[in-house]
Structure 1
Amino acid sequence: MNSVIILLDNPGDWKPYYETNSVLTVSDYLKHKSAGRERRLVINLSNDYSYNSEGYYASLLAQARGHRVIPDVQVINKLESGSGIRMDRSLQKLCYQWITKNDIKDDIWFLNIYFGTCREKGLEKIARFIFDNYPCPILRVGFNTRPKNQIESVQSIPLNALTSDEQDYFAEALDSFNKKVWRSPRLPKTSRYSLAILHDPQEKFPPSDHKALNKFLEIAKKTNVYAELITEEDATRLMEFDALFIRATTSLNHYTFHLSQRAVQHDMAVIDDPLSIIRCTNKVYLNELLEKEKIPAPASMLVFRSNNHSFGEISDRLGSPFILKIPDGSFSHGIKKIAGEEQLQAAFSTLFEKSAILLAQEFIPTEFDWRIGVLGGEPLFACKYHMAKGHWQIYLHSDNGKSKAGLVDTIPIYQVPQQVLKTAVKATSLIGKGLYGVDLKVVNGKAVVIEINDNPSIDHGIEDAILGDELYYRIINHFVRSLETQHR
């Protein structure tokens, strides 16, 4: 578990707040090396981060000592250089709505951000976005009102410059950011490590159901690892933990990817790591990778919005019918079976709205797909995912929003055909050493990889049906071994 150090230039700056043993002066921190290998979270509240200042060296040495520090030197340099960031259209729209509602007339208006939170209702997503890019305790951000609604400046604010009202909000934000500053340990003895399990309670098809998530918490406790379920709203607390386990469906240009990136930047053990997300979530990339490494996969071709592809052109190469996919679809969304020109043009009108490139693949009908779970290069579980009744996919999504899935049989690893296991393990070796789910079909006695999932389903009573609690122990212990390796 991380213990917390709050660094101040002057202990008097802490007078407005509750007393805590976590406070240390910047000078004392620089003079005295921390004993042992205990992981620490350092919150650097120096009033001066400028190059060669004590505040700057506090962050620099914290990183050298293996501590997690906010802000780190990279962020300090970004603030010093004034390198900017741009918001996407959705965040620009939030800005526009807020300045209109609040009748802001100034060309530049300012927002204070405390550990990724702000007092202004409606701007919470913007505050988290800026904190993701500039993890710093207190920021003052300038925005232009016309014509772009974009960020003009990002600066750190000294703690002693806060007004009385701002001090109150800072204290609340710090309490939310790292509750261990104020609370006694929740366990009778200090846990070895802490694990954040990111999930989305509103997700329709989550990678793990509620019972499986509770199993992860239960088994983590038995292995002396403190685990906690967090959501996107807890993103600002990420640095409180030693490891991150993503149990929300991942995607590029999505909060799951951004949090994975931030966790890796702060030397946390992560599943799914950013590189695995990049390699797995885009079917165009994955198809190219499998072809390059000569891993058996369905015949395929790229289809471009800029070209006028015909049904005959594609079916001559792939047969009829064939499958058309968007690159980043999941749970059978964004996939069409095409049997004629009319179907193709209808699919183009829908799918090209989501991506400029589509992937066309040969249609390989089978009664079930193999799903091989692989952890750290070793098979973890095996399932037969049967097609939904009367359908050619595992999931059948109806127009009324309802969905149904095919039956699942969990199979002991020793009963799985060896070529299926070997192909799955070889395929994941191209991705990384994390947790993956490889979907395969057996065609004419040959295992063919359909896709590799960086975020495979682990539901209670299904993927764990053979191993039971052992499956959860193996995943938790994988995090422990990763962290112990880092420490060595």
Structure 2
Amino acid sequence: MNNVLVLLDSLNDWKPYYETNSILTVSDYLKHKPPGKESKIVINLSSNYTYNSEGYYSSLLAQARGHRAIPSVDTINRIESGTGMRMDASLHKLCYQWIQKNTLPEGDIWYLNIYFGTCREKGLERIARFIFDNYPAPILRIGLNTRQRNQIETIQTLPLKSLSDEEQDFFASALDNFNKKIWRAPRSPRCCRYNLAIFHDPAEKFPPSNKKALTKFLDIAKKMDIHAELITEEDSVRLMEFDALFIRSTTSLNHITYNLAQKAKQNDMIVIDDPLSIIRCTNKVYLNELLEREKISVPASRLIFRSNENHFEEVAAQLGTPFIVKIPDGSFSHGMHKVSSESDFEKAMSVLFEKSSIILAQEYIPTDFDWRIGILNGEALYACKYYMAKGHWQIYNHGVKGCNQSGLVDTLPLYQVPQNVIRTALKASSLIGKGLYGVDLKVINNKAVVIEVNDNPSIDHGIEDAILGDELYYRILNYFIRSLELKSR
């Protein structure tokens, strides 16, 4: 297990097992980067994977550090969201035959424990492997409904410390065997039709695309022989009618947008934003560590943990004053505070720690505007200057009512943008994927500093399309056509 790290809530959780140098507490893994640059498998055995918990962040930062986390954030989010899964007829038959030979406890639901894709019940190995392929997690507890042909009813993670003596023995054996195998990701069915679903939320206050932009997408799509349709959460059950999904609503991991992206990806659809991009972009803690690892300039920063004793003087000594504190998954300037004093710090911590166990603190870099470089499939698409709201330090001023809540925007031809800004933006987005991104940067002493990478950047009629016009919509829609054609080959 030289290349394996096992993460635990407490080292005492490992007492029933053989001693090893490969165990580490969740807190220690978060606070200290493991030495060496080699890729590691991180087996996260935290008893709490809920969103914004330290168990959750362990899997998130493992990915940022180039480690393979089991379970991944993707798996955690699907389990937490209750995203369903169906077994095929052959597995249903296998379940039925096993039940005929075995006596089950009374009730409609029976439970199957799965350890790294294996189970103690002889004859159900194929089912255990099938479920693990879809939900790679160390220990799973599966509830199956006997009245509905053994349909999977619930999928939950099982804490290590809840195992009996016999289960501990089986888990230890499964862990040992798992370390010797390579597990293959499940394959998805193929699609062949050209229908595009554009998901939006009509009630969203700051949507990524205004109504005129959405209308433009529909009009241009029709000219390109794409059947495009606006859908909302109420239409999500129709997702499988389409070949591709374009999300035009602010994304979040514990949200319908991520669930739809995940469902689309599992069914071999072309999707923007894809679930991996959502994972990588929506959490500033992950993104900051990823950019630092790749030596891309970012504001000086540090993590603040709810489990630690935190002091204003210590943070100020490292970042200077004022500095910024923010929740990892805020958007449109929400969940951010500028801290200038100890009272500011205490007030901000009391508010932000209610939303997250980890807070990101960053140096304050005052500028008149931020650059936004729109990038599609690894190429620069548009460039904007987003100015700060009048009399405010952010682009959005949520404390003001009326028309002056956000600053002005200038859209420029790409040739008028400093080349180091475009180069840095392209490098940062390449770490995320090949989809549609908006990279926010500041220029300090001619040096481009990345503030964040957005997975669903604004495409508003009259702003981002001010230079390219209809060509902007054509290029985005053509990405879907090319991707679908490539897939069909």
Q: Give, in whole Å, the separation in 1 of the partners of 2:356 and 2:399.
A: 22
Q: Please give the residue correspondences for 1:396-407 in structure 2 after superposition, counting only pairs within 5 Å.
A: 396-398=397-399, 404-407=405-408
Partner residue, 1:229? 230
Partner residue, 1:482? 483
Q: Give, in whole Å, the separation in 1 of the partners of 2:354 and 2:333.
A: 17
Q: Please give the residue correspondences for 1:21-420 in structure 2 after superposition, counting only pairs within 5 Å.
A: 74=87, 153=145, 193-398=194-399, 404-420=405-421
* 1:398 positional shift: 1.3
* 1:286 positional shift: 0.2
* 1:254 positional shift: 1.1
* 1:308 positional shift: 1.6
Contact map agreement 1:369 1:441 (CA 8 A) in 2? yes
Contact map agreement 1:79 1:156 (CA 8 A) in 2? no
Partner residue, 1:428? 429
* 1:108 positional shift: 7.8
Contact map agreement 1:299 1:361 (CA 8 A) in 2? yes
Q: Which has the larger radius of gyration?
A: 1
Partner residue, 1:125? none
* 1:403 positional shift: 6.9
Residue correspondences, number: 323
With over 3 angstroms needed to count, the CA separation of the structure-2 counterparts of 1:79 and 1:305, relative to structure 1, is: farther
Question: SS where residue 395 of structure 1 aligns?
Answer: coil
Contact map agreement 1:79 1:154 (CA 8 A) in 2? no
Contact map agreement 2:389 2:395 (CA 8 A) in 1? yes
Q: Give, in whole Å, the separation in 2 of the partners of 1:257 and 1:403.
A: 31
Partner residue, 2:457? 456
* 1:153 positional shift: 2.8
Q: Give, in whole Å, the separation in 2 of the partners of 1:268 and 1:446.
A: 39
Q: Deviations over 1:293-340 (max 9, x none)?
A: 001100000000111211110011111100000000000000000001
Partner residue, 2:38? none
Q: Deviations over 1:313-370 (max 9, x none)?
A: 0011111100000000000000000001000000011000000000000000000000
Q: Please give the residue correspondences for 1:1-16 in structure 2 after superposition, counting only pairs within 5 Å.
A: none
Partner residue, 1:168? none
Contact map agreement 1:436 1:456 (CA 8 A) in 2? yes
Contact map agreement 1:192 1:225 (CA 8 A) in 2? no
Contact map agreement 2:193 2:242 (CA 8 A) in 1? no
Q: Deviations over 1:177-196 (max 9, x none)?
A: xxxxxxxxxxxxxx961000
With over 3 angstroms needed to count, the CA separation of the structure-2 counterparts of 1:219 and 1:306, relative to structure 1, is: same
Runs of 4+ in 1 over 6 A off after TM superposition: 77-82, 399-403
Q: Give, in whole Å, the separation in 1 of the partners of 2:146 and 2:428.
A: 44
Instruction: Give the unaligned 5+ runs of structure 1.
Output: 1-70, 83-106, 110-132, 134-149, 158-190
Q: Give, in whole Å, the separation in 2 of the partners of 1:81 and 1:431.
A: 41
Question: SS where residue 394 of structure 1 aligns?
Answer: coil
Contact map agreement 2:108 2:145 (CA 8 A) in 1? no
Contact map agreement 2:386 2:395 (CA 8 A) in 1? yes
With over 3 angstroms needed to count, the CA separation of the structure-2 counterparts of 1:444 and 1:245, relative to structure 1, is: same
Contact map agreement 1:260 1:272 (CA 8 A) in 2? yes
Q: Give, in whole Å, the separation in 1 of the partners of 2:470 and 2:295.
A: 36
Q: Give, in whole Å, the separation in 2 of the partners of 1:250 and 1:448.
A: 24
One-letter amino acid of the structure 2 residue matched with residue 231 of structure 1:
T
Give the structure-2-normalised TM-score: 0.63
Contact map agreement 1:192 1:224 (CA 8 A) in 2? no
* 1:391 positional shift: 0.3
Q: Give, in whole Å, the separation in 1 of the partners of 2:474 and 2:368.
A: 32
* 1:154 positional shift: 7.8
With over 3 angstroms needed to count, the CA separation of the structure-2 counterparts of 1:79 and 1:278, relative to structure 1, is: farther
One-letter amino acid of the structure 2 residue matched with residue 357 of structure 1:
I
With over 3 angstroms needed to count, the CA separation of the structure-2 counterparts of 1:260 and 1:300, relative to structure 1, is: same
Q: Give, in whole Å, the separation in 1 of the partners of 2:298 and 2:207.
A: 27
Q: Give, in whole Å, the separation in 2 of the partners of 1:403 and 1:294.
A: 37
One-letter amino acid of the structure 1 residue matched with residue 472 of structure 2:
L
Between the aligned residues of both structures, percent identity stands at 67
Partner residue, 2:76? none
One-letter amino acid of the structure 1 residue matched with residue 238 of structure 2:
R
Contact map agreement 1:295 1:427 (CA 8 A) in 2? yes
* 1:255 positional shift: 1.0
Contact map agreement 2:437 2:456 (CA 8 A) in 1? yes
Question: SS where residue 257 of structure 2 aligns?
Answer: helix
What RMSD in Å do the two structures reach over aligned CA positions?
A: 2.6
Partner residue, 1:128? none
With over 3 angstroms needed to count, the CA separation of the structure-2 counterparts of 1:481 and 1:348, relative to structure 1, is: same
Contact map agreement 2:372 2:440 (CA 8 A) in 1? yes
With over 3 angstroms needed to count, the CA separation of the structure-2 counterparts of 1:418 and 1:307, relative to structure 1, is: same
With over 3 angstroms needed to count, the CA separation of the structure-2 counterparts of 1:333 and 1:211, relative to structure 1, is: same
With over 3 angstroms needed to count, the CA separation of the structure-2 counterparts of 1:368 and 1:242, relative to structure 1, is: same
